[in-house]
C-alpha cells in the first residue's frame, strides 16, 4: 500500500526539514488527534532509510509498538522491533520500532540517525539521557499535548500542525457535544504535587456511580435511540468494578480493564470491542484508554475521573471520542468530573490556535469555578450551557437575564464549545495577517477585515508589525478561501 500524505501532513514535513536546515537538532511536532502523526513519522523514517541511514520510532507502551509495526508492514516497509522476545527482533534493519522500556533495560541499542519519540510529553529520564548522549542524532517528538514541564529543555523548536478546530471543520475529526452532569464533589480533597490524591478521587467517584450509569442510559437513548459504543474513564480500579456491576443491573455489558489485568486479557477485550458486531456496550478504565486507543465508532465518552491540573489527560481523553467514522456526525462527552469547565479556557485556546511554544504554565492546578459561576453558565429555561458571548440560548432562544439563575440538580446540561478568545494572542494573529497580505500584494485593509472576521472587532490599538504566519493561521486563511469559493459556486448554480 502506498503512503500518500495529506496536504497538511506534507506541510509539517517541510517545516521539520527546514528546522533541521536551520540548525535545530531536536524538534517537537504538535498535532491533535486525527492529524495523522504516525503517517508523518513513517514517511520520515522511510525517507531516512532511502538515504541509507537508520531511523527508529520509540513508544512507551507495548501495544503501541505492535500497532506501529503493523502500520509499517501495511506500507511494505521492512523493519525490526526492538522489544524483548519479539518475533521481529532484528537490530540490523535500518528501520526500528522500539519500546522505551526495552531500550532502557538493554545495552547495545543500535545507533540511529533519526529518533522519533511518540507521546513525547511523557518524559522518561533515560530517554532524555539517550538523546543528550547522541549529539549527532536528530530527534522529533510527537504529541497532541505538549504541556509537560521541561519539554522546552529537550526540544529546541516547535512545529504546529492543523488545529483541532480546523480538523473538525474539514471533517477529519468529529465535533463534540458536551454535557455537564452531576459532578463528583472534590471539596476538601488533599492534593499531591498539584493533583488530587488518587485514593480520595476514587472514594468520591464511587459515591455517584448510580448517577453516572443513569446519565449514560438517559443520553444514549435520548440522542441515539439505543445503546451505542461508549468508553468510561473511571476514578480507580474498584470504581471500575462497581460501574460494571451497576451497568449490568440495568442490562448493559460493560467491561473494566486495568493495570491489574494481564496484557492478553486487555488486548482481547479491546479486540472484541473493536468489532462492529461486538456485544460489549462499553469499556471502562482509568488511563489505559487515554493514549493509543483508536476505535473510531465509539460514540460516547464518560469522564468520571476529576483532574486538578492534568490538561493533557483531559484533552487526550476527549480525543478518543473525536475519531471520525462513517455516519458519525458528532461524539458525546458526559462530564461528571468537572474537567470541561475547569480546563475550558486552555482547551478553547488549544482548539482554536494550537500550540505555538512550549509553556510549562498550562499544566498547573486550575482554580475551581465557584458554584455561582457554574450556575450562571446554564440557561435558566432549559439548562443549556451558555456560550460566553451569547445573550440568547442557542437551544431554546431564552433571552439571558443577567444575574438570574436556576439549576436542576443532577440533570445533564449541554455545553456548546465556548468560543472565548481572550487568551488568544491577537497581536500575533494580526501581525501574521499583515505579513500574508504584504507577500500576496493584497489591499492594505485586507488584514483588518480578516481580523474582524475572526474576532468580531477591528484591530484597534495593535501594532502594524509583520510576522511570518504560523501553520494554524495559514490553515485558517485557507479555510476562509475555500468557504468563499464554495459560496461563489453555490451562487452561480442558482
Task: Locate the domains of the chain by residue range.
Answer: 7-162, 169-415, 426-493
pLDDT tens per residue, range 287-322 = 888 877 889 999 999 999 999 989 999 999 999 999
Show the DSSP H helices in 250-323 as ranges. Answer: 263-274, 311-319
pLDDT tens per residue, range 225-235 = 999 999 999 99
CA distance 6 to 19: 20
CA angle 66, 67, 70 (to 5 degrees): 85
| pLDDT computed for residue 397 by the predictor | 64
DSSP 433-467: HHHHHHHTT--TTHHHHHHHHHHSS--TT------
Show the DSSP H helices in 75-141 as ranges. Answer: 100-105, 125-133
Q: Is 0.85 surpassed by the pTM of this model? A: no
Question: What CATH superfamily is the domain 169-415?
Answer: P-loop containing nucleotide triphosphate hydrolases (3.40.50.300)
pLDDT tens per residue, range 22-73 = 999 999 999 998 888 999 999 999 999 999 999 999 988 777 888 889 999 9
Q: Tell me which DSSP letter residue 325 carries.
A: -
| C-alpha cell of residue 340 | 470541561
Summarize the confidence of residues 236-244 as an average pLDDT. 95
> What CATH number should be reported for the domain whose range is 7-162?
3.40.50.300
Q: Do 7-162 and 169-415 have matching folds?
A: yes
Proportion of the chain above pLDDT 90, given as a percent: 44
Amino acid at each position: 500500500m502506498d503512503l500518500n500524505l495529506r496536504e497538511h501532513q506534507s506541510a509539517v514535513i517541510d517545516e521539520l526539514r527546514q528546522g533541521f536546515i536551520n540548525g535545530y537538532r531536536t524538534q517537537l511536532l504538535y498535532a491533535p488527534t486525527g492529524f495523522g502523526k504516525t503517517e508523518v513519522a513513517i514517511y520520515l523514517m522511510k525517507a531516512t532509510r532511502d538515504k541509507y541511514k537508520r531511523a527508529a520510532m520509540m513508544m512507551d507502551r507495548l501495544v503501541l509498538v505492535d500497532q506501529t509495526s503493523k502500520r509499517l508492514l501495511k506500507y511494505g516497509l521492512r523493519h525490526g522491533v526492538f522489544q524483548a522476545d519479539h518475533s521481529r527482533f532484528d537490530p540490523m534493519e535500518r528501520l526500528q520500532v522500539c519500546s522505551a522500556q526495552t531500550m532502557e533495560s538493554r545495552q547495545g541499542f543500535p545507533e540511529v540517525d533519526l529518533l522519533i519519540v511518540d507521546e513525547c510529553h511523557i518524559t522518561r529520564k533515560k530517554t532524555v539521557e539517550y538523546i543528550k548522549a547522541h549529539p549527532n542524532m536528530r530527534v522529533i517528538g510527537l504529541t497532541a499535548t505538549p504541556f509537560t514541564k521541561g519539554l522546552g529543555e529537550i526540544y529546541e523548536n516547535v512545529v504546529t500542525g492543523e488545529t483541532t478546530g480546523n480538523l473538525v471543520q474539514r471533517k477529519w475529526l468529529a465535533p463534540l457535544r458536551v454535557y455537564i452532569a452531576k459532578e463528583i464533589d472534590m471539596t476538601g480533597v488533599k492534593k499531591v504535587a498539584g493533583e488530587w490524591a488518587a485514593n480520595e478521587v476514587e472514594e468520591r467517584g464511587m459515591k455517584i456511580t448510580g448517577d453516572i450509569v443513569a446519565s449514560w442510559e438517559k443520553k444514549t437513548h435520548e440522542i441515539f435511540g439505543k445503546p451505542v459504543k461508549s468508553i468510561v474513564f473511571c476514578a480507580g480500579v474498584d470504581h471500575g468494578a462497581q460501574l460494571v456491576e451497576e451497568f449490568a443491573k440495568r442490562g448493559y455489558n460493560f467491561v473494566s480493564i486495568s493495570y491489574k489485568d494481564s496484557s492478553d486479557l486487555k488486548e482481547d477485550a479491546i479486540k472484541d470491542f473493536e468489532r462492529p458486531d461486538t456485544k460489549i456496550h462499553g469499556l471502562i478504565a482509568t488511563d489505559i484508554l487515554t493514549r493509543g486507543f483508536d476505535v473510531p465508532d465509539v460514540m460516547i465518552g464518560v469522564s468520571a475521573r476529576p483532574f486538578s491540573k492534568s490538561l493533557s489527560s483531559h484533552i487526550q481523553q476527549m480525543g478518543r471520542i473525536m475519531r471520525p467514522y462513517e455516519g458519525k456526525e458528532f461524539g458525546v462527552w458526559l462530564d461528571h468530573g468537572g474537567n470541561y469547565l475547569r480546563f475550558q479556557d486552555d482547551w478553547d485556546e488549544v482548539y482554536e490556535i494550537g500550540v505555538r511554544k512550549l509553556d510549562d504554565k498550562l499544566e498547573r492546578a486550575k482554580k475551581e469555578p465557584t458554584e455561582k459561576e457554574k450556575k450562571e453558565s446554564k440557561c435558566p429555561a432549559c439548562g443549556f450551557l451558555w456560550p460566553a458571548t451569547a445573550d440568547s440560548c442557542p437551544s431554546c432562544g431564552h433571552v439571558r437575564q443577567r444575574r438570574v439563575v436556576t439549576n436542576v440538580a443532577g440533570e445533564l446540561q449541554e455545553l456548546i464549545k465556548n468560543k472565548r478568545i481572550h487568551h488568544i494572542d491577537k497581536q500575533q494573529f494580526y501581525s501574521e495577517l499583515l505579513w500574508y497580505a504584504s507577500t500576496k500584494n493584497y489591499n492594505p485593509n485586507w488584514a483588518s477585515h480578516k481580523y474582524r472576521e475572526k474576532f468580531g472587532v477591528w484591530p484597534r490599538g495593535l501594532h502594524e508589525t509583520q510576522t511570518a504566519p504560523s501553520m494554524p493561521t495559514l490553515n485558517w486563511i485557507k479555510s476562509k478561501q475555500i468557504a468563499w469559493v464554495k459560496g461563489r459556486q453555490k451562487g452561480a448554480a442558482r
